[in-house]
Every structure is written in C-alpha cells, then in structure tokens.
Structure 1
Amino acid sequence: MKCDVYLSFDGNCEEAIDFYKDVFDGEYQVMMRYKDGPPEYSKPEIENKIMHATLSFGNGCELKASDNFFKPINKGNNYHVSIAADDEEQGYAIFSSLMEDGEVTMPYNDVFWGGKFGSGVDKFGIQWMISSPH
C-alpha cells in the first residue's frame, strides 16, 4: 500500500510544482497539460494548464498536483504536508526554502520530543511540517 499527497491549484500549479521541484531537488515523473488529455478538457483558456503532475524526490516520496477548474478550491487549515528530513541540515534547508515568501507558524528549532521541527504556510497556501532527528 502507498499513500501520496495530491495538491489542487487554481491556475498556478506549474509555478508551485516547479518551486517544489527546486526545494526537494525532485524529478518529474509526469507532466500532463489539459491539451494532452481528452478533447473535452482542451478549452483554449486552460489548454496549457496542468492536468496532472507527479514529482518524485527523496526515498520514494511523491507530490502529485493539478490545476482544478471544475469546482472552487477552498484553502483550509485542516491538513499539513509532513516531511521527515534525513538530518538537521537537510531539514533546515527544506524549511527555509519552503518558507521563502511564506508564513512561519513555528520556527524550525529544537522540540521537546527530540530533534528539530518547524511548520508554516508556503506562498501557495500549502501548509508544511518539517522534522528531523538531532
């Protein structure tokens, strides 16, 4: 069994997934535009937007994403994408990159349960939790 994170955007998926590719030093497994799908999805105003993208990084991690034009996207605070970094240095680098132009809700620092932890909302409205061992 495998569980992946699938993110929906309202037109800026390519910008977001490119940003995450840089942050995580990832590789695209799939990058499909609406014009590449069935004809009923290839409307001129969205034909170059992302129908589906899969970004792989780390040890078996994947982020999947798309632009969603079929129902309004309600950005909420009931989820976080959680990343367990290999070490403190990697965790700090990921956290710092994700929080560029974002909002830190808990600075990346020592935590009472051990290791380091930080959380925040990136510039695309996605909530992240980054942790690492000492």
Structure 2
Amino acid sequence: MRSDVYLFFDGNCEEAMLYYQDIFDGKFEMIMRYSEGPPEFSSPEIANKIMHATLSFGTNSQIKLSDSFEEPLVKGNNSNISITADDEESGYAIFDGLADGGKTTMPYAEVFWGGKFGSCIDKFGIQWMISAPANDNS
C-alpha cells in the first residue's frame, strides 16, 4: 500500500508542476491532459489543462496534481490523501471504512484508466482518494 498527497489547482497546475519539479529535482512519471481523457471530461476551455500528473522525487516520494473545474477551490479543499491499495478488495475495504459516516464523492468502481477508484470525505472532513490496480485474473 502507498500514500501520497494529491493537490488540485484552479487552472495553473502546469505552472505549479514545473515549480515543484525544479524544487524537488523531480521526474514526471505521467502527465495527462483533459483532451486525452474521455470526451465527457473535457471541453475546449480545459482541453490543454492537466487532468492528472505524477511527480516522483527522492527515494520513494510522489506528488500527484490536477487542474480541477468541478467546484471552486479554496484553501483547505484543494488537497486529498491518495491511497493506492495492493488490490481491488483491500481498496474497497479501505474506501468503505473511510466513507462510513462521511460522504461519497465518487463511488468505488472501475475507471477508464484501469483498476478501481473512489473518493470520499470521511466523518472528520478529510478528503480521500482510493485506487487499486485491476485484479490479474490470468
């Protein structure tokens, strides 16, 4: 299992990514723009904005980043704790536990990028993103 910080920006994610890359001497493992995702998640205004980026640095550290256009961002709601579970079942158990007594913002389900993902706000107001790789049934 792994835990990372996921930061959201109001249209200036690319500027922040390059800033953090320079500070942490990092390497981008992934950069996906909204235009590269499903059409229902994009529009001409945001097509070139960042849907997801992963910046790796140090021995085993990452920051995940995204431009968010679903709701106004204010200090305090622009970060999540991102958990990558070892498998779908343990991901569901973690998600279910965190969502209990809180609010599900995206149900834990299969996603277009592979595996499963869900997000919630726990009963203490902490925002969580839980993902798991697809089960290998080969």
1:70-129 residue CA offsets vs partner (Å, 9 max, x unmatched): 01112139x8xxxxxxxxxxxxxxxxxxxxxxxxxxxxxxxxxxxxxxxxxxxxxxxxxx
Which segments of structure 1 move beyond 2 Å, counting only runs of 4 or more? none
What is the letter of the counterpart of residue 72 of structure 2? P
Give the TM-score normalised by structure 2: 0.54
For residues 4 and 76 of structure 1, what CA distance do their matches in structure 2 show? Answer: 17
For residues 8 and 45 of structure 1, what CA distance do their matches in structure 2 show? Answer: 17
1:68 is the counterpart of 2:63: no
For the 8 Å contact 1:41–1:47, the answer to whether it is kept is no
Please name the residue that 2:33 is paired with.
33
What is the letter of the counterpart of residue 59 of structure 1? T
CA RMSD of aligned residues (A): 1.5
1:32-53 residue CA offsets vs partner (Å, 9 max, x unmatched): 0000000112200000000000
What is the letter of the counterpart of residue 55 of structure 1? L
1:46 is the counterpart of 2:43: no
For residues 39 and 48 of structure 1, what CA distance do their matches in structure 2 show? Answer: 13
Please name the residue that 1:21 is paired with.
21
For the 8 Å contact 1:29–1:56, the answer to whether it is kept is yes
For residues 74 and 21 of structure 2, what CA distance do their matches in structure 1 show? Answer: 24
- The sequence identity of aligned pairs, in percent, is 62
For residues 12 and 42 of structure 2, what CA distance do their matches in structure 1 show? Answer: 17
For residues 54 and 6 of structure 1, what CA distance do their matches in structure 2 show? Answer: 9
Please name the residue that 1:4 is paired with.
4
Give the TM-score normalised by structure 1: 0.56
User: What stretches of structure 1 of length at least 5 have no aligned partner?
Assistant: 80-134
